[in-house]
């Protein structure tokens, strides 16, 4: 079936790199996403990667995809206190970019000054 798993908590020091990991079960996923959620807010799209790509870099964010192991990671360089939030990994299933999204439980990132 379709399932996405993430570790629940990560704590880093300001200025360090953060790496958030995610695994998914169904390899038919077309797009893989990272969303950020701050307290009381909706989901902010951070970045996404198409399933035939290995890596995508966008300023401080680097996404790595290992399709063989069904493993996705998000690296945040020079982590700031404003990066403290819950990060959700999501896999898209169905018609291209509009397929239903299956989310992990979210990883809470705590950034210590």
Partner 1 sequence: DAGVTQSPTHLIKTRGQQVTLRCSPKSGHDTVSWYQQALGQGPQFIFQYYEEEERQRGNFPDRFSGHQFPNYSSELNVNALLLGDSALYLCASSLTGGDQPQHFGDGTRLSIL
Q: Identify which range of 13-21, 66-74, 77-85, 104-112 contacts partner 1 by CB under 8 A.
A: 104-112
Write out the two tokens for 96: 């291209």
* Residue 51 C-beta: closest distance to partner 1, Å: 13
Residues 6+ apart with CB under 8 A from 40: none
Show contacts with partner 1 in window 71-90 (CB under 8 A). Answer: 88, 90
Residues 6+ apart with CB under 8 A from 108: 8, 9, 10, 85, 86
SS3 53: coil
User: From residue 23 to residue 62, what is the string marking binding to partner 1 with x (rule CB under 8 A)?
Assistant: --------x-x-x-----xxxxx--x--------------
* Residue 77 C-beta: closest distance to partner 1, Å: 22
98 binds partner 1 (CB under 8 A): yes
Binding site for partner 1 (CB under 8 A): 4, 31, 33, 35, 41-45, 48, 88, 90, 92, 94-106
């Amino acid at each position: 079936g379709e399932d996405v798993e993430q570790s629940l908590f990560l704590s880093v020091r300001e200025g360090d790199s953060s790496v958030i990991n995610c695994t998914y079960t169904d390899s038919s996923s077309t797009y893989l996403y990272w969303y950020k959620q701050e307290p009381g807010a909706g989901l902010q799209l951070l970045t996404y990667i198409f399933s035939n790509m290995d890596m995508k870099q966008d300023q401080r964010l680097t996404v790595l995809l290992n399709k063989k192991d069904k493993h996705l990671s998000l690296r945040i360089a020079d982590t700031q206190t404003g990066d403290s939030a819950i990060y959700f990994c999501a896999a898209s299933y169905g018609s291209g970019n509009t397929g239903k999204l299956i989310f992990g439980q979210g990883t809470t990132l705590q950034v210590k000054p």
